[in-house]
Amino acid sequence: MCEACGNSNHKKHETLPRREFLKEGGASVLAAGAMMGTSAAAKAAPSEGKMVIGKEPFETRAYAAKSATSGFSPITITRRALRPDDVLLDILYVGICHSDIHAVHSDWSAAHYPIVPGHEIVGRILAVGSKVTKFKVGDIGGVGCMVDSCGTCENCLDDREQNCLNGTTFTYDSPDKISGGYTFGGYSDRMVVNERFVIHIPSQVHLAAYAPLLCAGVTTFSPMRHWKLQKDQKIAIVGLGGLGHMALKLAHSMRADVTVFTTTEGKIADAKRLGASAAFLWTDKKAFERLTNHFDLMISTVPVSYPMQPFMNMLKLDATLVNVGALGELTGGLSGMSNGFGRKSLAGSMIGGIAETQEVIDYCAARHIEADIELIKPDEIDRAYERVMSKDVRYRFVIDFASGKSA
């Protein structure tokens, strides 16, 4: 029984050493005995060092919630053998998205425990399958919210894999069409992903601060592109958390005029520091009145349902409030008359496609935009969840899986 993680399949977790790469069968691969924990290697590789990683499924450390209330603890999970178009990612950093918390708590649907969340993943490519063309060993890759889609439906062909008509495979707790069971996400040491779903991350950027771009970044970038946010247009961001602060930075970089609505007094100054021309508390009824028919676009990142009509009232004629935050049932009432009179729309939006995710990374790299992060250790996830739920994150927790792995 492993003392560190309680798993009866192996004796002890080890900090995995830097290892040598081998070339075999046209694929860049890596010696398995060195890559896996000792017992995994021993089980899978009769003569350690000869076996090459990627040929067999392998075990890796992950942090899992075993129930909605268990908190996180280390477990050992199995990743699939590399297929010809797969890459093996040595995970360095993974962001904590509020969606991880919803999923662990079974807020949207019953989770399949143990659940390993994490869909803001940055890592180093350790091995590539024989048909991989996008990456080579040593490159930095990012994985966002998806790891597979059919690739042939009209939405996939239109670079909207998140809307795959045959069912997107999401990065965690999603039916795994390749290995069976449910996918395990990035709170883990290593993962295997089809290269189509891996994003190029420039190696010179602050890697930990780029992880949040893979979900929070693209989720807020995508509606700005779709609703064609223009320079000098007025945009409101509702909720200044992980998504909200990325929305603010991105809209400001597009030279839009940004206003933030927050429930947290202490974030008013932050909003202005990050580029907002104004920031108001939800309790500031005078501001709501003054800003009637004011905004060209609004993005709501609030994780719960709330009365949206007071915000809709601040939209101009024909403008749209894009709700990306509250994904359960929307309650709180909307006025058919007010929205009809102003021809106002309430819309939703779901992450972004792979091409758009690459676009937001390249966009941010060209403009030196990154997330504001607090780096934590894997054993601090429970505390981080509490702080996110109490709106006390400035502005994204990122779990450090890089420490202990040499560069």
- Residue 220 binding ligand NAP, by CB under 6 A: no
- Residue 82 binding ligand NAP, by CB under 6 A: no
Stretch that binds ligand NAP, among 1-9, 29-37, 38-46, 320-328 (CB under 6 A): 320-328
- Residue 242 binding ligand NAP, by CB under 6 A: yes
C-beta of 325 vs 342, nearer to ligand NAP:
325
Cβ–Cβ under 8 Å, residues 278 and 260: yes
152 CB-near residues (< 8 Å, 6+ apart): 166
- Residue 264 binding ligand NAP, by CB under 6 A: yes
Report which DSSP code applies to 161: G
Angle between helices 216-226 and 242-253 (to 10 degrees): 50
Cβ–Cβ under 8 Å, residues 270 and 287: no
One symbol per residue from 330 to 359: x for binding ligand NAP (CB under 6 A), - otherwise; what is it? -------------------xxx--------
Within 286-305, which residues bind ligand NAP (CB under 6 A)?
301-304
Shortest distance in whole angstroms from residue 239 CB to Zn ion: 14
C-beta of 17 vs 307, nearer to ligand NAP:
307
- Residue 239 binding ligand NAP, by CB under 6 A: yes
H helix or E strand, kind and range, residue 404: none
Q: Which two tokens stand for residue 20?
A: 């040598």
- Residue 393 binding ligand NAP, by CB under 6 A: yes
Stretch that binds ligand NAP, among 50-58, 165-173, 193-201, 234-242 (CB under 6 A): 234-242
What is the rounded CA–CA span in Å between residue 402 and residue 189?
Answer: 9
E-strand ranges in 249-328 read 257-262, 278-281, 295-300, 315-323
Shortest distance in whole angstroms from residue 390 CB to Zn ion: 19
How many residues bind to ligand NAP according to rule CB under 6 A?
31
Cβ–Cβ under 8 Å, residues 306 and 333: no
What is the rounded CA–CA span in Å between residue 214 and residue 360?
Answer: 8
Cβ–Cβ under 8 Å, residues 131 and 140: no
Place of tokens 């603010």: 248
Shortest distance in whole angstroms from residue 382 CB to ligand NAP: 16
Q: Which partner from the list ligand NAP, Zn ion, none does 263 bind, CB cut-off 5 to 8 Å by kind? A: ligand NAP
Phi, psi of 56, rounded to the nearest 5 degrees: -130, 155
Q: Which of 228, 221, 390 is nearest to 237 (CA)?
A: 221
- Residue 215 binding ligand NAP, by CB under 6 A: yes
Q: Which partner from the list Zn ion, ligand NAP, none does 302 bind, CB cut-off 5 to 8 Å by kind? A: ligand NAP
- Residue 258 binding ligand NAP, by CB under 6 A: no
Q: Which partner from the list Zn ion, ligand NAP, none does 350 bind, CB cut-off 5 to 8 Å by kind? A: ligand NAP
Stretch that binds Zn ion, among 92-100, 175-183, 278-286, 326-334 (CB under 5 A): 92-100
What is the rounded CA–CA span in Å between residue 146 and residue 84?
Answer: 19
One symbol per residue from 209 to 248: x for binding Zn ion (CB under 5 A), - otherwise; what is it? ------x---------------------------------
- CB atoms under 10 Å from CB of 225, counted, come to 16
Cβ–Cβ under 8 Å, residues 90 and 126: yes
Cβ–Cβ under 8 Å, residues 203 and 267: no
- Residue 99 binding Zn ion, by CB under 5 A: yes
| Sole binder of ligand NAP in the list 33, 118, 244, 378 (CB under 6 A) | 244
Stretch that binds ligand NAP, among 61-69, 322-330, 358-366, 398-406 (CB under 6 A): 322-330
What is the rounded CA–CA span in Å between residue 74 and residue 401?
Answer: 13
What is the rounded CA–CA span in Å between residue 351 and residue 347?
Answer: 13
Type of residue numbered 234: K
Q: Which partner from the list ligand NAP, Zn ion, none does 125 bind, CB cut-off 5 to 8 Å by kind? A: none
C-beta of 102 vs 252, nearer to Zn ion:
102
What is the rounded CA–CA span in Å between residue 394 and residue 373?
Answer: 7
- Residue 168 binding Zn ion, by CB under 5 A: no
E-strand ranges in 205-254 read 234-238
Shortest distance in whole angstroms from residue 86 CB to Zn ion: 23
Which residues contact ligand NAP by CB under 6 A?
A: 97-99, 102, 215-216, 219, 239-244, 262-264, 267, 301-304, 306, 324-325, 327, 349-351, 388, 391, 393
